[in-house]
Amino acid sequence: MYLGNFKTKNIMSNLICFDIGTTNLKIVYRIEGNYFKEIHSKELFEEIRNSILSKYNFETKLAIGTGSRLLSKEKDFIFLEELNANASIAKACEFDKSIIVNIGTGTSFMKFDNGEISHLIGTGVGGGTLLGLSKRMLGITNYHEINTLAEFGDINAINLTVKDVFEENTSWFQSDITISNFGNNSLKDANIAVGICSLVAEPIMSILKAHIDGNGISDIIFAGGVSKNKTVRKIIKKYSEIFQINSFFLKEPDFGTCFGAISMYENKKYPNLLDV
């Protein structure tokens, strides 16, 4: 699919983009050239929407996400396809070619190649998996707590690795590569937490590797709220080095899809989005 150029009359006009996800509501809006970002529970959508729209006059209103049907009766909204907005994160970040891995409730893999967009694959493994397992195994109900606990865990105490199975001099794999997630029987909460993070991150990296081979693209942008998780990010960096991937992260990954949507609509770039 080729992404055509959308242009407003004035790209510095007041604009708002609602990304209404399965769990969270992400909002990016521009007032007199200044950008503001908010994140709320999806359950507060009506309250937050009414509050913002009563304060400001927006020439352009964009909506994306699985919950955008909540605005389906609003005739002054422009509805953009979420996967195309995800792919346009590359454009927003000034990449000519990139694969965008958006780790939200699930994970999508999009390719952006000089304006040409293609959906590579998706997986149900993502933030919903991370939080769902955390609730069931540890009684943890928020991302911040699992993130903090996982930092104290030992991934080798919960995962079965190459060094547990092979003699070091008989395997061509790096010794700390996971052979089996939760293959070791640690009952320590911190180890279970890091194990959950690896159970999410490692399959995503394996799927990514399969789609990079022969694609001619080695620059990968990770977006979505889960990419803020320090343990997940550490695992991504580890496998990026092994797979010889150039991994980039957004400063504020929750809002990547909003900026992708705005970039797609206005044909504009945002050079300061990356965490460098």
> What pLDDT was estimated at residue 8?
41
Helix (H) or strand (E) holding 45: helix 45-55
Look up tokens 């000089």; give the residue: 114
Report residue 240: phi and psi, to 5°: -65, -40
* 182/49 same-domain check: no
pLDDT tens for the chain, 276 residues: list them.
334 444 444 557 899 999 988 788 999 999 988 999 999 988 888 899 889 999 999 999 999 988 777 777 777 888 888 889 999 999 999 999 999 999 988 999 999 998 899 999 999 999 999 999 999 999 999 889 999 999 999 999 999 988 877 766 555 567 788 889 999 989 999 999 999 999 999 999 999 999 887 777 889 999 998 999 999 999 999 999 999 999 999 999 999 999 999 998 998 887 789 986
Query: Is 275 a member of any domain?
Result: no
Query: Is 161 a member of any domain?
Result: yes
Alpha carbon dihedral 235, 109, 22, 276, in 10-degree steps, equals: 50
* 71/190 same-domain check: no
Question: For position 205, which CATH number holds?
Answer: 3.30.420.40
* 113/206 same-domain check: yes
* 172/64 same-domain check: no
Query: Is 7 a member of any domain?
Result: no
* 113/247 same-domain check: yes
Query: Is 276 a member of any domain?
Result: no
Partner residues linked to 100 by β-bridges: 110, 221
* 223/143 same-domain check: yes
Full strand arrangement of the beta sheet holding 24-31: 34-41, 24-31, 15-20, 60-64, 78-79
The number of distinct structural domains making up the chain is 2
Supply the pTM of this predicted model. 0.87
* 82/23 same-domain check: yes
Query: Is 101 a member of any domain?
Result: no
Query: Is 2 a member of any domain?
Result: no
* 139/191 same-domain check: yes
Query: Is 10 a member of any domain?
Result: no
Query: Is 123 a member of any domain?
Result: yes
* 72/156 same-domain check: no
> What pLDDT was estimated at residue 6?
42
* 121/239 same-domain check: yes
**Distance of alpha carbon 88 from alpha carbon 111, whole angstroms:** 9
* 128/239 same-domain check: yes
> What pLDDT was estimated at residue 5?
42
* 40/77 same-domain check: yes
128 neighbors 105 (Cβ within 8 angstroms): yes
Give the domain extent around 41.
Answer: 15-95+254-266
